[in-house]
């Protein structure tokens, strides 16, 4: 058995580090240079449990939820293998714990006061009673959050999204800024070898603070109590733990070999081994195999679950202890807690008014009402006709807000760095869900990176070609603010930047002035925000994007749509009068 | 060879050689030209021929100098759209600069969008420049820009200018001739908008005047107008390669305003020829008049020594 555990642990560490590095690579991919194969053939992010459940719901397809289905099935075989092998947040906790407790086992630091203190106080784990009521409450909150569309809330308790919030909210911006600073230092020495990152990688301060708080909290918890989060808050842990109870194989202690030395208990991350009673709470075991590695008697075994054996055989003691424990956890005392927790969620869900709770001056503006045309979200201090657009592939506001767990992967993938975690823009119920910030840039015409990475189906995959014709909003032109009108000078910055030719320049004012003013062909406009970003008018832009609630296919501009058709002909006529035709007849050079 | 064939051949050669040269270049004056206009060749070949007529790259680039190229790489469009400067032309210029003894050749543009690296690639210019040993420099990072005064400016008094454009040894402007929704036609003078950081400010404060103002500041060694493809409408970004017919022209000039004047005439001619877009008159292009008023260059081509070559 010892050899089996040895290999199993090595396999566990190898798998965990591979998955962790592969997924984290996306957050460090500051130039968006990962190959197509990363997304198409083996997408490491698709191994995540909760996102795949959401994807399954979003696409109504079992195949989309492969990870959800297979890890649930795996839990019936081996228990919570997912938690140690694939869960990114769990792996992050293991890494954080190892780093914090480094002085307690590193040879140089071991003998120092710090090392001794950490070794005595934190490195040794103790068995703890199960917090089954808390687990049930959080699982309940998760289920209700999903059922009522509070996916952002789900994202705050679900492990993958918490990992993403740390990586996307703190690590990715930090990496980008580090690259930018390095390149700027090199640039000052006339060395142009390091390219700076596109766009503005900074994120709102509040979102950054949320990421850091999550990181600090999880580091502290994992250093002090190991996988405490996994066995209290984590809904995935609770869900898989339920299946682990009935798993075919489980870790248990051979009571004949065991001498109750406590080595396994001391090294159990999940605090689920009671070495005195020689019992293992397999619903909390994350299958890290650390216990077996430290057992001097090889008393830790991986064997058939005693519930599948007849009572009275060799494992009866363990089974008895198990049963006793489960009885304790299901005391009547925990019922009030469960009821309180669930009713709180229900009350919150009932208050949801379906109009978004975003702030912004236009909240009560008629156009901010939920209609097929506009999204209900505005920006603080922005014009009421400026409404936030959802990224292409989101399909509709509902699809996006109901499936996005705010894992921040798209904010890290966004080439233009305009997808930013929202802190109020999408309302309280959309906290940290990304929004398109057209103040910082615009959606790049031939980029569909957010739809390539989204693991939950909030942003469904669309091809580059499809994306170029997907209408996410409409540009609204405010003539009285335009410089052509106010200053009487040429501009056309918006028409220049429009990638789909939705802005036509129409003659304006007297002919001799030769001025042209923009006109938006609304159905051609895709709402990419290029015009809004480039418009020179401050503080309120003369052209803003009004996000539409349901995305649709935009019309392609063709010549029949052109409003000012006679231009070429009339000018031609004018020129021929000016006897310039003689020059063209000379052929080669008109000058 | 038969006698008759021989005679024919000799006489054809005798007639063709001197007169061919003569007819193709009737209005040229003596001495090195100020402007060379070339047509009917591939972009790089036309440059090859044109620069030879101008007296070779050695006339402009001295040994050990740092050469800065400013092509137009504004848009995320491949070369067929005519939105960006022809990459073969830029590549050939880099080669000529090195042949003339340049220490290094740097190329930059502040692209019209944040994804500058992608635009450098799509335009094909990155590959062309790097293949010939030049280096691409970003124009998108704020720290690359320094505050400069523009003493002769009317509307534009200060600007944050790209480091490479400040006091360069040699500064070669390589615009592409195309339609522009704001200024009607964009070419040499307008191309300098890629040297400064805050373009929206220009749009807000009388765009044509700002373009002219900046040209009083920017040193220009040589202007090479790429009119291999001329985008006649839907500019400056371009929505279809159909709007940018291949017309095979090139203008090499020491006078930036004159280059623009010739380019606008060329644009009008091509527009008339293809029946597409608007054949703008010189008076429609306000920044040229403003630049002439500021004394940047001349709009009177007859004052210059212009050489016209058909390949």
Residues of A whose CB is below 8 A from B236: 496
Nearest-angstrom CA–CA distance, B97 and B104: 9
The per-residue pLDDT for A119 is: 84
A583 vs A385, residue with greater confidence = A385
The per-residue pLDDT for A466 is: 94
- The domain segmentation of chain B, as residue ranges, is 28-310
B27 vs A277, residue with greater confidence = A277
A63 vs B65, residue with greater confidence = B65
Average pLDDT value for residue range B12-38: 58
Helices (H), A330-463: 335-350, 397-403, 409-413, 449-453
SS3 A67: helix
Is residue B145 left, alpha or beta, with left meaning phi > 0 and alpha meaning psi from -120 to 50? beta
| % of chain A exceeding 70 in pLDDT | 85
SS3 B307: strand
DSSP state of B96: H
Residue B117 C-alpha, separation from nearest chain A C-alpha, in angstroms: 8
Please give the structure tokens belonging to residue A284: 């909390």
Pairing type for strands A279-280 and A273-274 reads: antiparallel
Per the CB < 8 Å rule, is A496 touching B237?
yes
Summarised one tens digit per residue, pLDDT across range A223-247 is 999 999 999 999 999 999 999 988 9
At residue A357, does pLDDT exceed 70?
no
The per-residue pLDDT for A323 is: 60
Average pLDDT value for residue range A157-171: 95
SS3 B309: strand
The per-residue pLDDT for A367 is: 44
Per the CB < 8 Å rule, is B114 touching A416?
yes
Nearest-by-Cβ selection for A490 from B208, B269, B306: B208
| % of chain B exceeding 70 in pLDDT | 90
Report B:197-226 residues touching A (Cβ under 8 A): 199-209
Per the CB < 8 Å rule, is A180 touching B207?
no
Q: Which residue of A has its CA nearest to B310?
A: A588
> Residue A150 — very low, low, confident or very high, per pLDDT cuts 50/70/90?
confident
At residue A87, does pLDDT exceed 90?
yes
Summarised one tens digit per residue, pLDDT across range B62-113 is 999 999 999 999 998 899 999 999 999 999 999 999 999 999 999 999 998 8
Per the CB < 8 Å rule, is A499 touching B237?
yes
Summarised one tens digit per residue, pLDDT across range A106-120 is 888 888 888 888 888
Please give the structure tokens belonging to residue A210: 């949320």
Nearest-angstrom CA–CA distance, A458 and A426: 14
Per the CB < 8 Å rule, is A188 touching B306?
no
Please give the structure tokens belonging to residue B87: 């990459």
A112 vs A325, residue with greater confidence = A112
Contact yes or no for A455/A46 (Cβ under 8 A): yes
Neighbours of B85 (CB within 10 A): 32
Nearest-by-Cβ selection for B272 from A31, A184, A584: A584
Nearest-by-Cβ selection for B181 from A444, A483, A496: A496
Residue B269 C-alpha, separation from nearest chain A C-alpha, in angstroms: 6
Report A:529-558 residues touching B (Cβ under 8 A): 530, 534-538, 557
Pairing type for strands B184-186 and B176-180 reads: antiparallel
> Residue A333 — very low, low, confident or very high, per pLDDT cuts 50/70/90?
low
Neighbours of A557 (CB within 10 A): 21
| CA A529 from centroid of its chain's CA atoms | 23
Catalogue all structural domains in chain A, each as residue range(s) with its CATH number: 2-245+322-329 (no CATH), 469-564 (3.30.70.20)
Would you call A591 an interface residue with chain B, using a CB distance cutoff of 8 Å?
Answer: yes
Residues 6+ apart with CB under 8 A from B206: A487, A489, B155
Q: Which residue of A has its CA nearest to B266?
A: A590
Average pLDDT of chain A? 85
Residue A363 C-alpha, separation from nearest chain B C-alpha, in angstroms: 30
Summarised one tens digit per residue, pLDDT across range A539-590 is 889 999 999 989 999 999 888 888 887 555 554 444 444 444 434 434 578 8
Nearest-angstrom CA–CA distance, A87 and A75: 14
Would you call B276 an interface residue with chain A, using a CB distance cutoff of 8 Å?
Answer: yes
At residue B50, does pLDDT exceed 90?
yes
Residue A145 C-alpha, separation from nearest chain B C-alpha, in angstroms: 38
Residues of A whose CB is below 8 A from B39: 588-589
Nearest-by-Cβ selection for A496 from B136, B236, B286: B236
Nearest-by-Cβ selection for B203 from A188, A493, A501: A493
Q: For B28-310, which CATH class?
A: alpha beta
> Residue A198 — very low, low, confident or very high, per pLDDT cuts 50/70/90?
confident
Nearest-angstrom CA–CA distance, B271 and B268: 5
SS3 sequence of B165-210: HCCCCEEEEECEEEEECCCEEECHHHHHHHHECCHHHHHHCCHHHH
The per-residue pLDDT for A573 is: 46
Would you call A29 an interface residue with chain B, using a CB distance cutoff of 8 Å?
Answer: no
Summarised one tens digit per residue, pLDDT across range A119-140 is 888 888 999 999 999 999 999 9
Instruction: State the burial class of residue A67 (Cβ atoms within 10 Å of its Cβ: 0-12, 13-18, 19+).
Output: buried
Q: Tell me the count of A-B CB pairs closer than 8 A.
A: 147
Helices (H), chain B: 3-24, 43-53, 87-99, 116-122, 125-131, 188-191, 199-204, 207-217, 256-274, 286-293
Q: How many CA atoms lie within 13 A of B10 on its CB side?
A: 7
Residues of B whose CB is below 8 A from A196: 138, 140-141
Report A:178-237 residues touching B (Cβ under 8 A): 180, 183-184, 187-188, 192, 195-196, 198-199
Per the CB < 8 Å rule, is A497 touching B275?
no
| % of chain B exceeding 90 in pLDDT | 67
The per-residue pLDDT for B3 is: 59
Instruction: State the burial class of residue A366 (Cβ atoms within 10 Å of its Cβ: 0-12, 13-18, 19+).
Output: exposed
At residue A270, does pLDDT exceed 70?
yes
Nearest-angstrom CA–CA distance, A578 and B144: 47
The per-residue pLDDT for A352 is: 46
At residue A313, does pLDDT exceed 80?
no
The DSSP bridge partners found for residue A302 are: A251
For B30, the enclosing helix (H) or strand (E) is: none
Residue A270 C-alpha, separation from nearest chain B C-alpha, in angstroms: 46
Per the CB < 8 Å rule, is B39 touching A501?
no
Average pLDDT of chain B? 87
Residues of B whose CB is below 8 A from A195: 117, 138
The per-residue pLDDT for A316 is: 54
SS3 sequence of A244-286: HCCCCEEEEECCCCCCCCCHHHHCCCCCCEECCCCEECCCCCC
Average pLDDT value for residue range A512-535: 92
Residues of A whose CB is below 8 A from B75: none
B261 vs B239, residue with greater confidence = B261
Residue B206 C-alpha, separation from nearest chain A C-alpha, in angstroms: 5
At residue A5, does pLDDT exceed 80?
yes
| pTM of the predicted model as reported, rounded to 2 decimal places | 0.83
Would you call B105 an interface residue with chain A, using a CB distance cutoff of 8 Å?
Answer: no
Report B:3-32 residues touching A (Cβ under 8 A): none
Interface test with B, best of A182, A468, A489, A554 (most B CBs within 10 A): A489
Per the CB < 8 Å rule, is B115 touching A192?
no
Would you call A585 an interface residue with chain B, using a CB distance cutoff of 8 Å?
Answer: no
What radius of gyration, in Å, describes the C-alpha atoms of chain A? 30
Residues of B whose CB is below 8 A from A444: 76, 113-115, 118
Per the CB < 8 Å rule, is B239 touching A501?
yes
Interface test with A, best of B39, B66, B279 (most A CBs within 10 A): B279
């Amino acid at each position: 058995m010892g050899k089996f555990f040895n290999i199993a642990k090595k396999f566990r560490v190898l798998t965990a580090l591979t998955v962790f590095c592969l997924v984290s690579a996306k957050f460090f991919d500051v130039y968006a240079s990962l190959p197509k194969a990363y997304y198409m053939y083996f997408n490491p992010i698709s191994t995540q449990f909760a996102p795949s459940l959401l994807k399954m719901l979003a696409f109504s397809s079992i195949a989309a939820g492969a990870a959800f289905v297979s890890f649930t099935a795996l839990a019936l075989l081996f228990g919570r293998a997912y938690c140690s092998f694939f869960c990114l947040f769990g792996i992050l906790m293991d890494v954080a714990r190892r780093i914090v407790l480094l002085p307690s086992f590193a040879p140089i630091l071991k003998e120092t006061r710090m090392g001794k203190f950490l070794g005595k106080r934190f490195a040794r784990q103790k068995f703890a009673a199960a917090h089954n009521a808390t687990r049930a409450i959080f699982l309940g909150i998760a289920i209700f959050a999903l059922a009522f569309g509070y996916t952002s809330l789900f994202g705050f308790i679900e492990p993958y999204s918490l990992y993403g919030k740390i990586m996307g909210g703190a690590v990715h911006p930090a990496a980008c800024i580090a690259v930018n600073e390095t390149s700027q230092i090199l640039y000052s020495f006339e060395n142009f070898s390091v390219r700076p990152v596109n766009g503005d990688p900074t994120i709102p301060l509040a979102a950054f603070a949320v990421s850091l708080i999550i990181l600090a909290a999880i580091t502290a918890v994992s250093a002090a109590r190991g996988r405490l989060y996994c066995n209290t808050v984590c809904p995935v842990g609770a869900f898989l733990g339920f299946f682990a109870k009935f798993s075919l194989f489980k870790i248990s202690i051979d009571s004949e070999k065991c001498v109750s030395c406590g080595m396994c208990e001391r090294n159990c991350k999940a605090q689920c081994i009671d070495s005195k009673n020689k019992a293992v709470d397999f619903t909390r075991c994350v299958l890290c195999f650390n216990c077996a590695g430290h057992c001097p008697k090889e008393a830790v075994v991986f064997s058939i679950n005693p519930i599948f054996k007849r009572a009275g055989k060799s494992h009866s003691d363990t089974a008895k202890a198990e049963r006793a424990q489960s009885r304790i956890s299901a005391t009547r005392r925990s019922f009030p807690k469960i009821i309180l927790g669930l009713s709180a969620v229900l009350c919150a869900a009932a208050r949801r008014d379906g109009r978004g709770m975003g702030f912004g001056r236009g909240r009560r503006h008629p156009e901010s009402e939920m209609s097929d045309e506009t999204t209900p979200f505005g920006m603080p201090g922005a014009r009421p006709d400026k409404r936030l657009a959802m990224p292409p592939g989101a399909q509709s506001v509902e699809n996006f807000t109901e499936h996005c767990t705010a894992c921040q992967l798209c904010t890290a993938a966004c080439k233009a760095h305009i997808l930013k975690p929202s802190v109020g823009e999408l309302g309280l119920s959309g906290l940290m869900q990304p929004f398109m910030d057209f103040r910082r840039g615009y959606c790049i015409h031939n980029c569909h990176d957010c739809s390539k990475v989204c693991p939950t189906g909030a942003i469904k995959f669309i091809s580059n070609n499809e994306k170029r014709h997907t209408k996410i909003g409409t540009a609204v032109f405010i003539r009285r603010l335009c410089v052509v009108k106010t200053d009487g000078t040429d501009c056309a910055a918006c028409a220049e930047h429009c990638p789909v030719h939705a802005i036509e320049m129409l003659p304006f004012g007297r002919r001799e002035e030769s001025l042209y003013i923009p006109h938006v062909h609304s159905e051609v406009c895709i709402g990419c925000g290029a015009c809004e970003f480039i418009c020179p008018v401050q503080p309120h832009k003369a052209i803003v994007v009004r996000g539409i609630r349901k995305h649709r296919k935009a019309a392609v501009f063709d010549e029949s749509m052109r409003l000012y058709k006679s231009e070429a002909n009339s000018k031609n006529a004018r020129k021929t009068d000016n006897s310039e035709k003689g020059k063209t007849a000379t052929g080669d050079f008109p000058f | 060879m038969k006698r008759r064939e021989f005679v024919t051949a000799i006489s054809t050669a005798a007639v063709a050689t001197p007169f061919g040269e003569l007819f193709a270049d009737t209005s040229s004056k003596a001495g090195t030209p100020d402007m060379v206009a070339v047509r009917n060749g591939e972009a790089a070949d036309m440059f090859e021929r044109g620069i030879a007529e101008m007296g070779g790259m050695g006339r402009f680039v001295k040994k050990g100098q740092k050469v800065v190229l400013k092509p137009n790489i504004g848009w995320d469009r491949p070369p067929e759209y005519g939105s960006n400067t022809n990459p073969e032309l830029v590549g050939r210029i880099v080669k000529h600069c090195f042949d003339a003894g340049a220490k290094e050749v740097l190329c930059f543009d502040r692209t019209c969008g944040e994804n500058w690296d992608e635009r450098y690639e799509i335009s094909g210019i990155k590959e062309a420049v790097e293949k010939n040993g030049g280096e691409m420099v970003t124009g998108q990072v704020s720290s690359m820009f320094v505050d400069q005064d523009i003493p002769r400016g009317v509307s534009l008094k200060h600007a944050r200018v790209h480091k490479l454009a400040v006091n360069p040894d040699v500064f070669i402007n390589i615009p592409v001739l195309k339609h522009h929704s704001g200024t009607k036609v964009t070419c040499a003078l307008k191309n300098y908008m890629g040297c400064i950081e805050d373009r929206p400010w220009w749009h807000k404060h009388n765009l044509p005047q700002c373009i002219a103002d900046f040209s009083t500041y920017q040193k220009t060694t040589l202007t090479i107008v790429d009119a291999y493809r001329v985008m006649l409408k839907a500019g400056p970004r371009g929505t279809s390669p159909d709007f940018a017919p291949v017309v095979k022209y090139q203008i090499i000039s020491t006078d930036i305003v004159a280059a623009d004047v010739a380019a606008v005439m060329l644009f009008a001619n091509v527009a008339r020829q293809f029946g597409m877009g608007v054949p703008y008159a010189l008076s429609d292009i306000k920044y040229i008049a403003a630049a002439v008023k500021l004394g940047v260059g001349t709009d009177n081509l007859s004052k210059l020594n212009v050489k016209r070559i058909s390949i």
